[in-house]
Structure 1
Amino acid sequence: MTAGEGARRVRGAAPGGRSDGPLVVVGDVLLDIDIVGAASRLCPDAPVPVIDHADERPRPGGAGLAALLAAAEGREVVLVTALADDEPGHRLRALLEPHLEVAAFHLHGGTPCKLRIQAEGRSVARLDVGDGRAQDGPIGPSVTAALSRAGAVLVSDYGRGVTGHAAIRSLLEGLAGRVPVVWDPHPRGEPPVHGTRLMTPNEDEAARLAAAHGAEITGTGLAPSTRRARHLAEAWGLEAVAVTLGSDGALLCDGTCTPYLAPAESVPPYGTPDCCGAGDSFAARATEVLADGGGLAEAVGEGVRRASAFVHGGAAGAVASRLADTGSPEMRPPSEVADAWDVVERTRRTGGTVVATGGCFDLLHAGHVALFQQARRLGDCLIVCVNSDRSVRRRKGPGRPVTPAEDRVRVLRALTDVDATLVFDEDTPEPLLDRLRPDIWVKGADYSGAALPEAGTVRANGGEIVLLPFMEGRSTTRMLKEESS
């Protein structure tokens, strides 16, 4: 999608109502480059890995990433930033302009660039270059016009001077209170303008910002984040502050007595997830919700859900891969299916073992839990294949399932030993297993001696079948019979 090709008009909303206008992202842009390869040997003259078959994957960083993520949702987005007239600056324009409108003024110095060298999905080193900063001076008519017609504003501050520019701040001050302004801060950046509706620091940023304003707050649990959020909101005249807590979600303090916690979806226990850009994803989604007239709690909850899906989908590194492969930054929808294939891909990429099992799991009981615990120990991830409602009805009769597939999947995904789920509509999981190709397919020992229809598919794809002990007397059918008798 380009800015001029069918971009959907955004509904910008202040607390009192809605107004037409684009979502405008204001802030510092960086050029992020992932250099991705394989490492199987050390350099002969130093104890460092040699990266073979390196592939360069550039992407916009900072405010550029936030704008790109918002534009990927089909919105009309304008990025207001400072760009240098150098080769990295030209690369940034080329990456951004197919997807959104860029309204830029002059960046003094070189474009900030961050190069991450990765091997087997892990960062080996990072090199930062470029000293560019925005300085007071002319901003040009395109910047003024973009902000004057904004329906909502996301300020993505990366401490490079855009938010300190006198003309930019003056325009932002005029907008705050009329349209939603969300401020994603930086410890080396500028304070939000008075009337900002929502500020979104992470825990470390909130602590550093509060300390800079004389509030050395300590403690355990959520209390320190709550006190810091309230201190910053009062100090800067903000309607609300949402402190992002990583895998714990986000804590919203909006002037009411009780803070609101939006919990994150669980992160799969395979390896350490790449969280680069999660804060940008959160802030972009929160701004979208406010632009569409949603409330603060809804905005924070949706922001957490989008950031969780963003991390599950590979985070900023996946954006670079999609730009390289398809030219589009569009992230896959935050669905169970997308998560499952991501789990499998990452596990195989690191040489891990994929374990899978399947069944109806209509009423989850202790026998199921024991099976999952034992199965998860056999490998590096466990994928649970679940019969759809139609599949269960064909197998068990018109009175089943007791619990619909959506609820069964949600319960399964909440278990620590289950990395992801996949729902299949056929009578057997054979077609799904043909694509999944698990290294180990697990069934309960009650299938001992039975002919498994999927056995040939599993073995044809190089997998093995393992039977695990089952708990006598634990079955959904038996539980339902006992209940009705």
Structure 2
Amino acid sequence: MIPEIDSLKIETPILVLGDLMLDEYHYGDVERVSPEAPVPVVNSSQHERRVGGAGSVVANLSALGVPTRVFGMTGADESGDYIRNALSQLGADVSDVIISNDRPTSCKTRILAGVQHAGRGQQQILRLDREESHPLSQDELADCRKALAGILEEPISIILVSDYEKGLLGQEIMEDLLQRAREKGIPVLVDPGRSGDWERYRGATLICPNRYEASTASGLDVGEEASDHARVGEVLVEKLQLDHCILTLDRDGITRISKGGGLRRHPTKVQAVTDVAGAGDMVLSLLGLALASGWSIDEACQLANLGAGLEIRKVGVQPVERWELSAERDALCGLPIDIDHSTEEMVQIMNQYRSAGQTVVFTNGCFDLLHSGHLQLLEAARAYGDVLIVGLNSDESVSRLKGPERPILPASERARLLGALSSVDHVVIFDEDTPESLIGDLLPDVLVKGADYAIEEVVGREAVEAAGGRVETVTLKPGFSTTGLIEQIRSGARSCPKPSEG
């Protein structure tokens, strides 16, 4: 069983080394084909910039509250300034990032688009790379060696190497790193480059190649059987003098092969893949954090499997939050899933849905003693989009609105009942009498209420419409209310036919 996510705690920073890049994303819709060439015309509606490469590992760890130091290189340009500032804002120590005059910052621009009227999610249709990949100059090498020596004189819990083979992590730097790390007893985990030329990783604690990379480096096919994995892993462990080789095998999960012949497969459940970008960075991040927190190598592999499964559901490279890992871990262990989130957590979740091009629907209520009228509202609301968020009045709020004898059920139980419905994706409990503030924070695409409200009376309408959303009302079947249900129970009246005699 995977340990509780709360046990992922360290105080000494993790050192992240590797190639820093700037990832740019342009989102839009395709409405026509260009008259100039047979290519789609994308009407760009949103532009985002994120730190990529080794910076993704830093972002992953920062999202989990982990202290980090960064060793990398950027160009003396605006993109490099953005990367250093962004990492610093995440809380990372960027004082050892080298600024080079001999190369520009690596930039990758991705165009994602969908067909608006089809209501489908967006997909990547083009990637444009701007970079120079070549070995370090003598000045760059001298600066890197000096910085690395200084870093390793200070406390470091574990070292994560993210090698995109842009020239930073050549033989000289890796030899220096591995020798100094061995002397100080610091584990070194490597996410290797695609070339398969891995002699520079000799003596690392572990490497975590994917299927293609492992096949290229070993010269062997990586099949689906454990015997195939063992053969490839043993070759790499012996050749590179590793403690472990962690094979990341997409649909086949993760297989650990260790020095001395140890092997264990960690299968993964089938996922709907949105975007595979960032899965390798997530595996490296979680392996490192788990091992630095004192977890066993197999517990670390199970966590990495879990995190990679979450990452491939996201559009682009996005960190996974602790609550997501906790929910996925609890589901895997068969524990009740807590779908109730704070407003802050829900805002982060909303941003992820928006990045995926999904339509988010919001409705609200007390939902005290769930009945078929509630079900009708929730099912109708869910049909307006891809995700339904329910705002739920707290116990204090219900008492103010309905009287001191209400609610019948506490908010925790009402949230659990709502969460058990297939139409409900998330629940947010609010303390105010109305959800106006919550709606203003979330700004859903669609706001739904019962048709007993005029649209002009719907709380939150102005904020939603100002943000480009809309309000929908649902005509509900009359005769269903919690108040009426309570009165029936107290009077002993029946609302269903009496059973026939005989």
TM-score above 0.5: yes
TM alignment of 1:86-485, pairs within 5 A: 92=83, 96=87, 99=92, 100-104=94-98, 111-118=105-112, 122-135=123-136, 138=142, 139-149=144-154, 150-175=156-181, 178-188=185-195, 190-191=197-198, 193=201, 196-201=204-209, 205-210=210-215, 212-219=217-224, 228=229, 231-232=232-233, 235-236=236-237, 237-239=242-244, 241=246, 243=248, 245=250, 251=254, 253=256, 259-260=265-266, 273=274, 276-300=277-301, 303=304, 315-316=316-317, 337=343, 340-341=346-347, 354-358=360-364, 375-388=381-394, 400-401=409-410, 404=413, 407=416, 411=420, 415=422, 417-426=423-432, 432=438, 436=443, 439=446, 441=448, 456-457=458-459, 462-467=470-475
Quote how far apart the aligned CAs of 1:30 are: 2.7
Relative to 1, partners in 2 of residues 1:424 and 1:378: Cα closer, same or farther, differing over 3 Å? Answer: same
Q: Is the 8 A contact 1:31 1:113 kept in 2?
A: yes
Q: Is the 8 A contact 1:22 1:151 kept in 2?
A: yes
Could you tell me how far apart the structure 1 residues matched to 2:313 and 2:276 are? 9
Q: Which amino acid aligns with 1:280?
A: D
Q: Give the alignment's TM-score, normalised by structure 2.
A: 0.63
Please say if 1:67 is aligned against 2:75.
no
- Match of 2:71? 80
Quote how far apart the aligned CAs of 1:152 are: 0.9
Relative to 1, partners in 2 of residues 1:382 and 1:27: Cα closer, same or farther, differing over 3 Å? Answer: same
Relative to 1, partners in 2 of residues 1:85 and 1:125: Cα closer, same or farther, differing over 3 Å? Answer: same
Could you tell me how far apart the structure 2 residues matched to 1:187 and 1:152 are? 23
Structure of greater Rg: 2
1:134-167 per-residue CA deviation (whole Å, 9 max, x = no partner) reads 3596443112222454321011121334444234
Could you tell me how far apart the structure 2 residues matched to 1:83 and 1:451 are? 56
Quote how far apart the aligned CAs of 1:433 are: 5.2
- Match of 2:25? 34
Q: Which amino acid aligns with 2:185?
A: R
Unaligned runs of 5+ in 2: 1-7, 115-121, 325-340, 490-502
Quote how far apart the aligned CAs of 1:114 are: 1.7
Match of 1:379, SS state, is: coil
Match of 1:421, SS state, is: strand
CA RMSD of aligned residues (A): 5.4
Quote how far apart the aligned CAs of 1:257 are: 6.5
Q: Give the alignment's TM-score, normalised by structure 1.
A: 0.64
1:149-203 per-residue CA deviation (whole Å, 9 max, x = no partner) reads 43210111213344442342343255259223222233225548466445444xx
Relative to 1, partners in 2 of residues 1:28 and 1:389: Cα closer, same or farther, differing over 3 Å? Answer: same
Match of 2:458, SS state, is: helix
